[in-house]
Amino acid sequence: MKMNRRQFLLSGMAFAASGILMACEEYASQTLPPSESNPLSGTSKDDNQTETGVPGTEEGTPGESDGFVHAAPFDLVNGNVLLNNGIEMPILGLGTFNLSTREAQTSVTNALNSGMRLIDTAAAYNNETGVGAGIKAAGVPRDQFFVTTKLWPSNYNMNGIDAALRNLDLDYIDLLLLHQPSGDYIGGYKAMEQAVADGKVRAIGLSNFSTSQFDEVVAAASILPAVHQVETHLHNQQAGMQRYIDQYGTLLEGWFPFGGRTNCQTFFNLPEVQEIAAGHGKSPAQTIIRWHLQSGHITIPGSRNADHIQENTQVFDFELTEEEMSVLNALNRNAAFFPGLGVTDEEAQERMQQWANEWGLNIN
């Protein structure tokens, strides 16, 4: 029987992942025992795109179910998950969007010293050198932390990958993503695949792609995306996107976990969040992070505040009930704050320039 490219990739993935999933299967039924320990301190549109080009704001529908390679379940005891290529990734980390180079350095050092082991940055944030300096200052052994960065469309090539390595002052990048569905993203994805073969990158994925764009990449890929990073919060829960990419064993990673700095207080003050947080003796931020993790979202809250960074790590000593999860799930509006790239190349270029002006992004 002949197999198409998608079936071929999935069949190979199924064989490679079968042992991984068997090893992780026990996590699916585990409940979190009460503990004061912090696992982070261990050694270790088409279907989904609206007219405005915002990915994942509507329900997605998976295709045929036969041959799916489902994403691995989260280990909520040790705070990690196995990617679809067998690499272990922390499920909670620090986001560095909108941090200056100096702020990124300080926050990364604080995060690593607090036990976080996942750091997220991007070429467009213009702070990769600060992230690298923060890593060096913390002195954590290289095999005990995980770095994600993202290529901007103007550098979807090996030069962009090599520049990220130089800026971060690292020998390899743990997870490399294409930041936006613009430019030659097929060529960019192939460059990332070559970087994996060259030992420069351990895992690759996408960010802000619609389901149709995701499928376009998969059709040309020899390595399936390990992670898809999209705007994910209580008002934009991405259940449809999460179900859709699950067929490829791809995990969802959420940015804006609190709705962004301009919306976080609104989320923190929601009566439902306040009541659930009080019941567990936790802060609203910790409650929302725990909701993300129990929902299967890798999450990367950002902060300049050392106390807030430390607070964000203390989410593995309690568990939300099914009823509490349902209450928070009911807050979904399929509403994104981020406008997306639009539906034409002209709109995309205009919006990217707008972001550069507004947020100081490096889009060159």
Query: What distances in angstroms separate CA 36 from CA 110, 310, 311, 313, 316, one per listed residue?
Result: 20, 14, 13, 12, 8
Residue 44 CB-density burial (10 A; 0-12 exposed, 13-18 middle, 19+ buried): middle
Task: Dig out the tokens for 71 from the structure.
Answer: 């994403």
- Is 125 among the residues known to form the active site? yes
CA angle 230, 177, 210 (to 5 degrees): 40
**Distance (Å, whole) CA 76 – CA 217:** 31
State the greatest distance between any 2 C-alpha atoms of the chain, in Å, as a whole number.
Answer: 58
Return the DSSP state at 92: B
User: Comparing C-alpha atoms, which of 120, 28, 118, 7 is closest to residue 71?
Assistant: 28
- The answer to whether 200 and 165 have CB atoms below 8 angstroms apart is yes
- The answer to whether 252 and 242 have CB atoms below 8 angstroms apart is yes
- The answer to whether 226 and 175 have CB atoms below 8 angstroms apart is yes
List the catalytic residue out of 27, 125, 172, 185. Answer: 125
Task: Dig out the tokens for 259 from the structure.
Answer: 């709705």
Order of strands across the sheet that contains 173-178: 94-95, 118-120, 146-151, 173-178, 201-207, 227-231, 251-255, 297-299
Instruction: Give the count of beta carbons closer than 10 Å to the beta carbon of residue 272.
Output: 14
Which positions are catalytic? 125
